[in-house]
Amino acid sequence: MDLENKNKDHKSKLGNFKLPKLPIKLPKPPPPPTHLGDVELPKTLMYLLPVGGLFTLAFVGAIAAFVITAWWGQPIPVLGFEQTFDQPINFPHTVHASTKQLDYKDADGNTMMGLGTDCTFCHRTVNKTTAAGANAYIPPVNFCANCHGVIGTEDNSQLNILRDAAGIIGEDGTSPINWRRVHRLPDHVRFVHEPHIRYLSANPEHIKGETDGVSTGPSAVCSTCHGNVASMEKVYQVEPLKMRQCVDCHRDNEAPTDCATCHH
């Protein structure tokens, strides 16, 4: 039996089955309700119902966009999802860490230069091996007040929040400053700054990113993950800081990629 006959034979076995003709006619949707009990609904509702559907679609889309943004953790400034927060005090990293000329003017009206402070001057525990070294902590208020008890004008409202919290002005016992956390790692990660700073300080060729701040010491290596913080008025997360980024960098630098290195 040749192929053509075989196909014919096969076709005959299908019997009387017929494919439905396209386009398939769908049942008509029920008309929109005109009465609610005895009350007659306004006719405009009929036209508003499909518009409501569009709104629902837009709402779901917005939620989906939010979830996707949150999942990737990528700052998307164009959509307004930039991860910049208003902190209790508008702390400018530019003034403290940058080494460049700034837009700020001091009390005498002269343009200011950045101070060029090393990151570890304030974030003291970041390169310590102790348990506290896991986090680059925000310094205590009194540490800020050591300088700002004197430095800065007396009518500077932002500095007065700090002086109030430090007990220099106002009453004692005011509440602490609730800084908002900017950089967040995914759950289940035990990240410690110290070995990363130690390695990158010893191998500066692996540093990624540039900084406006001092280019030596621990400050130079921070830009690899934190971006150019010295140029930021408000700090935001530059890198996605997801596991893929960690593992890529660990592979490039022959660091351990055992699960238990970070997950325990």
Partner 1 sequence: MTTDIEKFGTRNWGMIADLDKCTGCQACVIACQAENNIPINTQDRVERARSISWIRVERYWEGDFPDTKARFIPVMCQHCENAPCEPVCPVYASYHNSEGLNVQVYNRCVGTRYCANACPYIVRFFNYWDPVWPESLRNHLNPDVTIRSRGIMEKCSFCIQRINRTSREAKSEGRELEDGEIQTACSAACGTHGIVFGDFNDPNSRVSKLRNHKRAFTLLEQFGTDPNVIYLAKVDPNRNNSEEGHH
Q: Rule CB under 8 A: which residues touch partner 1?
A: 129, 131, 134, 187-188, 190, 192, 194-195, 198, 254, 256-261, 263-264
Using an 8 Å Cβ cutoff, are 102 and 95 in contact?
A: yes
What are the distances in angstroms from CA 3 to CA 8, 9, 15, 59, 141? 9, 10, 20, 56, 88
Using an 8 Å Cβ cutoff, are 99 and 116 in contact?
A: yes
* Least distance CB 128 / partner 1 (angstroms): 9
Phi, psi of 193 (to 5 degrees): -70, -40
Cis status of the peptide bond prior to 23, with omega within 30 of 0: yes
* Least distance CB 201 / partner 1 (angstroms): 11
**36 vs 131 by CB, closer to partner 1:** 131
* Least distance CB 173 / partner 1 (angstroms): 21
The residues, any chain, with a CB within 8 Å of residue 201's CB and separated by 6 or more, are 217, 218, 220, 221
The residues, any chain, with a CB within 8 Å of residue 86's CB and separated by 6 or more, are 234
**111 vs 261 by CB, closer to partner 1:** 261
* Least distance CB 198 / partner 1 (angstroms): 6
What angle do the packed helices 218-226 and 193-202 form, to 10 degrees?
Answer: 120
The residues, any chain, with a CB within 8 Å of residue 87's CB and separated by 6 or more, are 179, 180, 234
* Least distance CB 129 / partner 1 (angstroms): 5
Phi, psi of 45 (to 5 degrees): -60, -35
**169 vs 192 by CB, closer to partner 1:** 192
**171 vs 258 by CB, closer to partner 1:** 258
**97 vs 221 by CB, closer to partner 1:** 221
Residue entry with tokens 């010491």: 217
**122 vs 134 by CB, closer to partner 1:** 134
* Least distance CB 258 / partner 1 (angstroms): 5
**134 vs 169 by CB, closer to partner 1:** 134
* Least distance CB 182 / partner 1 (angstroms): 19
Q: Which of 127, 168, 120 is nearest to 148 (CA)?
A: 168
